[in-house]
Structure 1
Amino acid sequence: MWNTFKFLTFWVVIFAISVHFKPSECISHAVSDGDWLQYKLTYGKTYATTQADALARYYYSYNLKLIKKHNQNYDRKLTTFTLKANQFTDMRLTQFNALFPPAVYPTMTFDFPLNTVQNPPATFNPFTDQGLVSEVEDQGILCNSGWAYSAAKSIEILQQYQGTLIPLSAQNLIDCSGRSTACRTQVPQTGFDYLTMYDQVIYSTTDYPNNITISEQNMCIIPPAPITGTKLSAYSVITDGDDATMLRYVGNNYPVVIEFNPTSFEFMHYADGVFQQPRTSTGSHFMVVLGYEEDATSGLNTWLVQNSFGKTWGKGGRISIRRDAVTPLAKHAIFPAELA
């Protein structure tokens, strides 16, 4: 009888705890009210309900613990890069991964054959070697538009290499070439095809501002004259896995867009150092390869890549990715080859 009473008492207590105390409420308090408020102010975060706020706070706290653990491993020289909190830290990893579904490619391509280029330099950093000025963009979290941001940025940089700096509009490509998949599974080739096959202009951000507050493309709008824009007459592609060819063109002032799998906690929170891709699920994101060099801290060969997650992600919006034959970076690599 006594054992039965103790058994029933135990489960009554457990039930009471489960009713009055939720795990998210307990763990979320690992982050102080002040720290949580500061995070929300820094990244302009708002939540529809108090429950949604509490859940976001819970994941923020949980992710901070994982970031701290990873950085302790960096201090022990068990990894080559560090992590930090950013605009994604209030999300579950599965929520972040869902932002980047696998891309769907056209069945035809209208690329031009690779033109002849000189032997590239041993290292190439366009910011120090060419005086490149390239603003890091923020594609937001509502529209999976890295394809458009990377395509626009690659054309913008190629044009700057040739002497003209005009910030170009990703929104222009989203609205006018993205079709019904502009915010889900679209690819840079579609933007390049729109410009080359239909003799279209990609407008400046002044004439066609980017908009990260919408989750679907807008109507394609032709800005009133006078307008500032750029015409692309040709693009080329690089065979998957052919990093040697990609290096040759990057080193000759051709910014190359690559498809990259972003679906890992490490990429989600990358801060600094040489990124080495962990095992991940399937996902698609697009970034621009700008250069290649040797990392001063680790001695590893790296790719210098520009993202479109804003300046608070990574190294001011950029990432160094390990460059070796085992894990080639060239995947669906494509670049603007000739301006009109």
Structure 2
Amino acid sequence: MANIRIRLFARMKAAFTLVVLSLVVCQAFAGFEQNIINDDDLILDQALVDSINSAQGSWKAEMSPRFQGVTVREVKALLGTDLSVESNLPVHSYDDVSDVPASFDATTQWPDFIHPIRNQEQCGSCWAFAASEVLSDRYGIATNGSENAVLSPESLVSCDKTDMGCQGGNLNNAWNFLRDTGITTDKCFPYTAGGGNAPACQSTCTDGSAMKLYKSADAYNLKSVADIQKDIMTNGPVEAGFTVYKSFMSYKSGVYTKHWYEFSALGGHAVKIVGWGTEDKTDYWLIANSWGPTWGLEGFFKIKRGVNECGIESQVYAGHVSA
């Protein structure tokens, strides 16, 4: 009788294992099917959203209002960050990072100086938005509000000739431009490249008044998680570049991680890291995007921290405010 029970248990265990493996294989095939990306397809996929939400992972998906009716080709045009160029900027590090807290949020630490979520629209200017927003916030923080203007991403898009305007840019080049030349305020040179074409560079403000330029005193690269954290809590947000996959456009809430079956990258994107924390035992970065407030967490998102998820920790840049 004991032997019969043992054999019966073994068969049940084998059957259960087969069912689990079948489910995994089915999910994998579904993932591979969803990973076949054609430029003329719509970027939002209800089947992918349902698959993500049923998996009970660390994040939730939705048919985001920001990308309703938008094609893969149009999304690729937004992802204007060139991640292929190695930084030639110095690496900035800290001798003591022992005071880095478990969580930090620049939007609550400096609520008057972290500027609102913006929208790059249909121009591949994410590299310019994130860079100008970081410098804007850092000016407000460093001067305690005496210099708290929103700085102009258009200055970078139109005037930084080492980059390619709406066709993309490199974070290393952008920070060299902020250090060597500087940018003006958004009021002086408003953003009008949202349709995909950048206007000519201006030497005076749109209203004809003299243009004041805001520069970074230096430009540097941050390499470790602890140094990124220390720099944010000391000086303000930083700019980061990372690789985007199809599922990211469907992000709604939680801590984003790409799916293991996502092999086809859509492009590089630049964003502003404003803090970090832990949600349901998963460490994350808190990040401001430039896709308007209807996407994600009212324009923000969380992405897994400490494992270089999608390369988010490999290209991080900032600079100190020029006196």
**TM-score in same-fold range (> 0.5):** yes
Report the CA distance shift for 1:290/1:201 in structure 2 as closer, same or farther (over 3 A): same
Report the CA distance shift for 1:117/1:173 in structure 2 as closer, same or farther (over 3 A): farther
Q: Is the 8 A contact 2:276 2:284 kept in 1?
A: yes
TM-score (norm 1): 0.71
Match of 2:64 in 1: 85
Report the CA distance shift for 1:250/1:117 in structure 2 as closer, same or farther (over 3 A): farther
Aligned-residue offset at 1:114:
4.3
CA distance in 2, matches of 1:85, 1:248: 33
TM alignment of 1:197-208, pairs within 5 A: 197=180, 200-208=181-189
Report the CA distance shift for 1:101/1:210 in structure 2 as closer, same or farther (over 3 A): closer
Aligned-residue offset at 1:271:
1.2
Aligned-residue offset at 1:330:
1.1
User: 1:258 is matched with which residue: 240, 245, 252?
Assistant: 240
Match of 1:126 in 2: 106
Report the CA distance shift for 1:260/1:180 in structure 2 as closer, same or farther (over 3 A): closer
Q: Is the 8 A contact 1:86 1:312 kept in 2?
A: yes
Aligned-residue offset at 1:285:
0.7
Report the CA distance shift for 1:161/1:89 in structure 2 as closer, same or farther (over 3 A): same
Aligned-residue offset at 1:244:
2.6
Match of 1:181 in 2: 164
| Structure 2 letter corresponding to 1:330 | E
Aligned-residue offset at 1:106:
6.1
Specify every segment of 5 or more residues in structure 2 that has no aligned partner in the other structure, as ranges: 1-39
TM alignment of 1:18-97, pairs within 5 A: 59=42, 63-71=45-53, 73=54, 77-93=56-72, 95-97=74-76
Between 1:214-223 and 1:96-105, the stretch displaced more is: 96-105
User: 2:298 is matched with which residue: 316, 324, 331?
Assistant: 316
Aligned-residue offset at 1:184:
2.0
Report the CA distance shift for 1:193/1:229 in structure 2 as closer, same or farther (over 3 A): same
Output one character per residue of 1:257-308: Cα deviation in whole Å (capped at 9) or x when no partner: 11111232x211211111112334242110111101122xx23211001111
TM alignment of 1:153-232, pairs within 5 A: 153-162=133-142, 163-164=144-145, 165-179=148-162, 181-197=164-180, 200-222=181-203, 223=205, 224-232=208-216
Between 1:79-88 and 1:215-224, the stretch displaced more is: 79-88
| Structure 2 letter corresponding to 1:81 | K
Q: Is the 8 A contact 2:80 2:169 kept in 1?
A: no
1:273 to 2:265 alignment = no
| Structure 1 letter corresponding to 2:62 | L
Match of 2:220 in 1: 236
| Structure 2 letter corresponding to 1:134 | H
CA distance in 1, matches of 2:297, 2:175: 28
Paired residue total: 272
Q: Is the 8 A contact 2:157 2:164 kept in 1?
A: no
Aligned-residue offset at 1:89:
2.7
Aligned CA-pair RMSD: 2.8
Which structure carries more relative contact order (alpha carbon 8 Å, separation 6+)? 2
User: 1:148 is matched with which residue: 128, 148, 161?
Assistant: 128
CA distance in 1, matches of 2:182, 2:282: 40
Output one character per residue of 1:158-215: Cα deviation in whole Å (capped at 9) or x when no partner: 1121212210110011111045622223112222212323xx3311111010114442
CA distance in 2, matches of 1:114, 1:300: 25
Aligned-residue offset at 1:237:
0.5
Aligned-residue offset at 1:315:
0.7
Match of 2:230 in 1: 248
Percent of aligned pairs with the same residue?
19
| Structure 1 letter corresponding to 2:60 | F
Report the CA distance shift for 1:96/1:225 in structure 2 as closer, same or farther (over 3 A): closer
